[in-house]
Amino acid sequence: MSDQEEESPRQDEFGQRIIKLKELTPLEKEYFEKARKRHKENIYKDQIVQGRKFEGVAFISKPAEIIFKDFDVGKPHTIIMQLTNVSYTFNSFKILPLPEAVRDFFELIYTPPGRVSAGMSCPITVRFTPQLNDDIDVQLQCQAETGPFQIHILCTSKKAIAKVEQPIIDFGKVILGEDSTLILKIQNLGALDTDVFIRSAKGMDLQTIATESVSQKSNRDRPFDEEGILPFLKQLKFQRQHILQGYSMLKIPIQYIPADVGPFSLPLTLYYENFLHSPPCQIEIRGYCTEVPIYVEKQIYNFQICLFNHIYREKIVFFNRSQNAMKIQIQTPKETKDFFEFNPKLGYIQGNSKFEIWVKFNAERQLQTICQRFFKDNVIDVPFKLIGADQKMPVPFNIVAQMTMATLQITPARLDFGKLFDGQGAKRAITFENLSDLPQELAIYPLPKEISITTDLVPLRLLPKQKFTTDITYRTQKVIGISDRQDEGILKCKIVSGTISTKEIRIPYTCEISKCPLEFSGLKFDIPVQQIDEKYSTTIDIKNISQRDIIIEFFLPFYELCGLKMAPMVQQIQREQLIQVHLEYDSFFKKLGAYTLQELKEKYENDPNNNFELRLKIRYEEEERKKREQEELKKEEEMAKGKAAKKEVKKDQKKPEKLTKAQQQQLEEEERRQAELEKLKQEEERLKREEFEKMFDSAKELRNLGGTLVEFNKPEDLNYSQHYSWLIPCYFKYTDMPDNAKSVIYIQISTVTVQKSLLLSKTIIDFGEVAVGIRQTKELTVFNQTPFKAELKMEMLPISCGFTILNALRTIEPSNKKSLIVQFQPTEDQPFEETLKLYCNHTAVSAKLKGIGVRPEVKVVPENGLIPVGGVVLGEFAERTFKITNVSNFPIKFQLISKARGVQNSCGTEVFQFIPQEAIVNAQQEITCKVIFKPDRVSDKFYDLISVHVPNQKSEKRVFIWGYCYNRQAYVNIYQPYNLIPQINEINKKIEFPFDQLKLKDEEKVYTYLNNKIMLEFEKLKEEDNSRKIVIGSCKLLDPKMEKPVNYEVILSKDEKYFVCDNQKGAIQPGNEVVITFTFKPPQPDQFIASIEALKKIGQWKETKIELKISGGFLKAGVQDNISYELILKAFINQI
């Protein structure tokens, strides 16, 4: 074979020659990629017609989807579709190839239409020739000028798709002996037929389980009924195998024949022949087997407690479980025909329904005699039967009732309140006893306005055989114009026995009323709930409304039993007089024991402070003892006069005889016997005491004292409380009447004492001394130890007391706490004291608030407050100090505040700096404040008026500081001393105002070589003010080595006759000043001219110029040493 034959061109599967293209160069690849990208971008274009742009699918297919359903393999299937142009204008399309996997199964036959007008269609024949029995779901991709679109192609093969509509078959309730049939529906959504098999949940054949169960005993190696479904299969009837046709529904009847009472549940599985497209399906058969058809709702109908001579009705319900109607009839005992009536007694009960029969029970009194055999311990129990026509077994039921009478006994039958005064009350005990077996409710209603009942239980409910005693109080009402009268009436007691019997009992009452000569602000006082160790006080106003004097006397029980104090206890009240009696209650737990009264009587009888007779007896015995001592002293003085008498006395004294051993043993035996007798006596006394304490009736003894006690919980419990009510007698009589003519009126006082459930962290809050207007706070913690919520409240504190509770009073949860902020802000310098009372719905607590309001006070040294700094040279500074003393008894805080200032520094810094600016000074201590004078400009107007600010101080303290600053050590100024601290209105002016418009230098505003004229003008016509002064000073330097004395000289004219200088020449040491005084001496006026009225106050001004020379001292660079000042003295001369 030649080489050419070996290199012959390759061919494809169709015999076409394969031409191998040469590989592109990189440049060709780049151009090719750009061209393809450009072609891809230009493949689609927008279609715009008359300004509207077409958007969406340009061609639509009819039908929209190409579906080949239930195809046969190898058989061609054809569908013709119409492709319509729905764009605005001409458009064209191109059908792209199908996916390669299914491309060979489809053939598209059509004539390419080219550009198609809008609305025109193109038929396309789609021929599908399946080669595989698989479903195909693809998209036919197409391209149009305006964009791509696609057509859905779906090809489905023939299959069986089974679906169960209801997998749970519930028969509901089925009566035993009956059956019920339900339909199991299975639908085939495919074209192929399939076999349906009903098997167990685990897939076992039901027929095999049923047939092989007989031989299960012999074949024990393999139990066929592993799932235990055989008992359930015996109760069902259905066909195990069926054929499900294509596109059809199969209905399988299932019959349920219950054999056992109770629930029924059997899970099964449906298996299909075509299991690829119809997987196994789980179903469940349910049901419930009920009892026999006729039954009664309850076996025993209990009428509970019934009253004789009353009629009762009850509904008896029978049920029929079967589907058929049944005739029923009730059989009753012969004895009960007059007492029990059934309506209807005979009837038909329909299938699957109920039948109601009403029984009427007439509980006449003869019932207990005629139906005696059904009675036992007042309980009647009668058996009845219901007979059904188609039911052999009757339905038994019983009617049970407890018989009783509605009887309530009231003791006493009549209430007599006796004789009372206007506004007085009387209390009588009344007892209610329930003799019935039913609980009874009673209410005395309506109550007259004069009568009240102690119990809060309205209506009062009495249990069977229960006895209840309460108090009925009659309180008289004033009737204007009537003094003596008798009140009679009836109390209507309404009684309800159970829920059906009602009756009314009338209780008569009577009372004799007379007018009382005393008028009380109240005869009943309810003291709020108090914790132990708390106190409560109030007042009782008593007015004598008669025209005669009356004396009153209160009798209180022992303080240890009631905790009450009254003052005064005895008082004489004049006619038309009003007095106040102070009532105070100390809260503590009281206990009345068997020997409490005896012990208290002995205590008060042996206490001279409480026993007047004992006090007189002790005083008498003391006087007798003093008399005997005096007599003995006299006898001793008499016996001391003679020695013989002393010797006789000594002879008469006998020595004690010494006992023998037998006598000593006899004495010890007697003492031992006496000790044993004493021990037996004490044991007998103890037993007698214990027996007496057991028999002691504290409630009765307490009532004899005028009190009643109600206790809640045990004494050791936190919720333990004592509720006392005391009747305090007030005896009174007219002063001119004998003692046996006294009358009595009672005041009722109720108290409640509880444990300390609301605790305070402090019972006394002492703020001590607080400055007036200063707020000081302290924390007060309230603890709630009760199991209840405590809604905290408080009594309002007086506005002027100075004490305030800042935070809100909130509810305190059980076993929790709340902090209160107590503020003390005194308004005056005086002591303050107030009681803070906090209370909630079950208790109250109080705390004492104390504080003293004082005003802070400080002293300043120097006392006049004037602090001259003197002069300084520009660039240097000077320091001064002053002291602030706290004369108060508590620390105070002060602050130095500037009230008025003079010239300020050019750089903005403070001229006067204070160290410290503010501080706290302890009580009776002092602090030294430093003042630093550091000016940065020349001026003699530096000053600062400082207020030592202390809040609420008694009087404001001020300090005035001033100084000067010059270019040289020597300075001259007009002498203007500060004897007192100037007022703000005197100095609070803008210092530089006169010079602002002139734009002068600082050196020109003081007396220097630039401003060397000094004017001293004397007041016109004031002889007492005839002198003027200047001051010449020398500044103190920081460096003493640079200091030099300053020399000065005042040169007066020799011819000067009106002005005199006291110090014309001298030297001034550093830090010192010299005051030079110029005195004006006016000439003597001419007497003749002075006598002429018209010439008075007429004269002329006289001016004199005097030269002042200054030299020496420290000089800055460029400052001349010798300075000459021109002093101009100007005065008024009263002459022509």
| Pairwise CA distance, residues 300 & 381, whole Å | 9
Per the rule left: phi > 0, alpha: psi between -120 and 50, beta: everything else, 502 is: beta
Of 418, 309, 311, 322, residue with least CA distance to 365: 309
Position 928 scores a pLDDT of 93
Order of strands across the sheet that contains 236-237: 162-164, 180-188, 249-256, 236-237
- Residues of the chain with confidence (pLDDT) below 70: 1-10, 12-15, 21, 39-42, 177-178, 207-227, 392, 456-457, 480-481, 609-612, 641-659, 988-1000, 1002-1004, 1020-1025, 1088-1097, 1135-1136
- The amino acid sitting at 4 is Q
Two structure tokens written together for 276: 């690829």
Q: Which of 995, 988, 1004 is nearest to 902 (CA)?
A: 988
User: How many other CB atoms are there within 10 angstroms of residue 631's CB atom?
Assistant: 10
Using N-to-C axis directions, what is the helix angle for 643-652 and 612-639, rounded to 10°? Answer: 120
Cis-peptide into 982, omega within 30 deg = no
Residues in the chain: 1136
Cα 851 to Cα 832: distance, rounded to the nearest angstrom? 5
Q: What is the pLDDT of residue 217?
A: 47
Q: What stretch of H or E contains 381?
A: strand 379-388
- Strand 106-109 versus strand 121-128 pairing type: antiparallel
Strands 408-411 and 379-388: unpaired
> How far is 918 from 927, CA to CA, in rounded Å?
11
Q: Cα(233)–Cα(265) distance, rounded to whole angstroms?
A: 10
- For residue 1052, the tally of other CB atoms under 10 A from its CB is 16
User: Residues 689, 682: contact at Cβ < 8 Å?
Assistant: no
pTM for the model stands at 0.44
Tell me if 209 sits within 8 A of 225, measured CB to CB. yes
Give the C-alpha separation, 375 to 824, whole Å: 81
Of 1040, 1035, 1038, which is closest to residue 1068 (Cα–Cα)? 1035
| Residue 700, pLDDT score | 84
Q: Which residues 6+ apart lie within 8 Å of 174 measured at CB?
A: 180, 256, 258, 287, 288, 289, 290
pLDDT digits (tens, 9 = 90+) for 949-966: 988 787 888 999 999 898
The pLDDT score that the predictor gives to residue 50 is: 83
Other Cβ atoms closer than 10 A to 975: 14
Q: Is 270 exposed, middle or buried (0-12, 13-18, 19+ CB in 10 A)?
A: buried
Residues 907-939: b if buried by 16+ CB within 10 A, e if exposed: eeeebbebeeeeeebeeeeeeebebebbbebbb
For the chain, percent helix, then strand, then coil, each to nearest 5? 15, 45, 40
Beta-carbon contacts of residue 148 (< 8 Å; ≥ 6 apart):
44, 141, 142
pLDDT digits (tens, 9 = 90+) for 23-66: 878 888 888 888 877 766 667 788 888 888 888 888 899 998 99
DSSP type of residue 922: -
> Can you give the pLDDT at residue 749?
93
Q: Classify strands 570-573 and 550-554 as parallel, antiparallel or unpaired.
A: antiparallel
Whether the CB-CB separation of 361 and 500 falls below 8 Å is answered with no
Q: Residue 311: enclosing H or E segment and its boundaries?
A: strand 310-320
Cis peptide before 862, with omega less than 30 degrees from 0? yes
Residue with tokens 């009323």: 513
Which pLDDT belongs to residue 6?
Answer: 46
3-state SS class at 445: coil
Report pLDDT for 651.
46
Query: What does the pLDDT read at residue 222?
Result: 43
Give me the domains of the chain, ranges plus CATH numbers.
Answer: 41-157 (2.60.40.10), 162-214+227-290 (2.60.40.10), 294-404 (2.60.40.10), 408-514 (2.60.40.10), 518-593+701-753 (2.60.40.10), 595-619 (no CATH), 757-854 (2.60.40.10), 857-969+981-1000 (2.60.40.10), 1012-1136 (2.60.40.10)
Q: Quick one: pLDDT at residue 13?
A: 64
The per-residue pLDDT for 101 is 87
Peptide bond into 448 cis (omega under 30): no
